[in-house]
Amino acid sequence: MHQELDSFDVAILAILQADNLTPQREIAERVHLSPAAVQRRIRRLQDSGVIAANVAVLRPEALGRPLTIFIEVQLVNELDALTAGFRARVAVEEAVQQCYSVTGQTDYLLIVTAADMQEYQALTKRLFEGDQNIRRFVTSIALATLKQGLRLPLPLPLP
């Protein structure tokens, strides 16, 4: 669902994407609205789902999790009943940072973080071992991070 955003909404979202802890009075000054108007707009953006969450983004390596690993998963069959167990295991696994159902030869793409290879191997056992619907999985380990972010390109506001 796409929500129409005006120039004030876009300006507020740009500020919040850069620093979600920016005080509303400062946002109000920067976008030339009253603090109450900014508060109403932020609440509307939250209620409508444009703002999905207010979180702190942590650096994995600062917490002893230097490995970023990409796992391509191929299934035998994509029927919901056969993939439910796998999807449930992925959903509760904190090391899985992102999981996408994708097109092509791969059915799912997972992005995981790990402290070391032993932890990664234990993770693959929890996710894949004993699941007869997993045809195979392929692992790629990130050697360097060229770009990482959560900021979305914002739409141009309607005139």
Can you read off the two tokens belonging to residue 74? Answer: 């191929």
Say whether both 34 and 66 belong to one domain: no
* One-character DSSP codes across 41-80: HHHHHHHTTSS----PPP-GGGGT--EEEEEEEEES---H
Question: Residue 43 maps to which CATH number?
Answer: 1.10.10
Say whether both 72 and 43 belong to one domain: no
Query: Looking at residue 1, what is its pLDDT?
Result: 56
Query: Looking at residue 150, what is its pLDDT?
Result: 86
CB-based contact 16:22 (threshold 8 Å): yes
For 115, the domain range is 60-141
Low-confidence ranges of the chain (pLDDT < 50): none
Query: Looking at residue 156, what is its pLDDT?
Result: 75
Query: Looking at residue 3, what is its pLDDT?
Result: 75
pTM of the predicted protein model: 0.86
Query: Looking at residue 4, what is its pLDDT?
Result: 85
Say whether both 39 and 65 belong to one domain: no
b or e along 25-40 (b: 16 or more beta carbons within 10 Å of the residue's beta carbon)?
eebbeebebeeeebee
Query: Looking at residue 114, what is its pLDDT?
Result: 98
Query: Looking at residue 18, what is its pLDDT?
Result: 92
- The structural domain count of the chain equals 2
Question: Residue 83 maps to which CATH number?
Answer: 3.30.70.920
Rounded to the nearest 5 degrees, what angle is found at the Cα of 69, between the Cα atoms of 64 and 70? 155
What CA–CA distance (Å, rounded) separates 61 from 114? Answer: 9
